Chains A and B, each alone.
Chain A
């Protein structure tokens, strides 16, 4: 998938990976890759600046621990982050419905 297609959606995707519990940066990247069947495989090193930006915005909270002798920073959603994720989901559903209607594809969401 092309990186520009992610514009405006990366924050929501990263927040979604933290919904089920705290994760460190590499695990966030892997979760994103797994959830999309490998279609969304971002360079690991570029996920961290996005996580730092979300932390500065108060949407996630990071904490340090030591795992296997290595310093590890783990992130979890804040309340504000959960609200932002819910908003991103609503926005995406609305956007996808409009685009599906406009492009003349099948009904969305798929119900088969």
Chain B
């Protein structure tokens, strides 16, 4: 293993649990423990625990924070109340992605961006460079936090045992501060990347605290058969829910309309980085290609990078993410295709190891959590 791989505080715990480790964006992270399918199912039907400490945290503080956030991210932070979070993204001037982010509003002058692991340095540099003109202070707190995601229909019941905060009062994409496992002022956000209900908590990143909280969560979830879950299940869960992954559905080569994320992009809020280019795309009648969901109809598993073909066998696009879907028990795909092929029901094919295999366009997301 190259010396350069970064290790989060819980690395020894993952190895102790027998996880298979993988290099993810420069981080030595667990890909699976007991088995990807069992972990995936635990999150859909019970509860799973993920170490997502590789995610980055950038905080904006000061009078100019709100203006900086509005300038740097595409969603409209004026719609946020204190204690609320929103899905958003940072864009290049051409309307393509620097990264997607979750914006948390701590106060009128205090915001937190949670960003991806593989893009941490790039994101932080981008934020610093573009926040310079505003009266605010930008800090990278990524290494200060161990971030744990507790996900699944039993996530609330699990975490409730460990905190004095009434978790029922925290709505989806809202957050609160409270004592968790005896740690005061812990950020508890009802967010996640699984398409399921759940929480993300941010605790101090020293090994002793991280390990203690990890173990207490596992203990609290034991009656619900909680499972530690790796990045493998995290990927299949997010794919079933059709949540974007940087480098696949979003990148510096993909614009907001192509990625189908325009509902999180508020062009009417005023000028921000990327807005002018996107208005031009809109004025030109929209993007030429679009992200669609495909279900493979015949036998075969389509994987990242495979070609999408039309009825005549001509290449029309590429698979952004493709995998068996453990809960849906189908082979699903997110792919970029020309707009003419974007309508649900359209029949296409995916080239799987030189063979065209039938697939059809289906509405997104593939999976929606049941209403309670």
Report if A and B associate in a common complex.
Answer: no
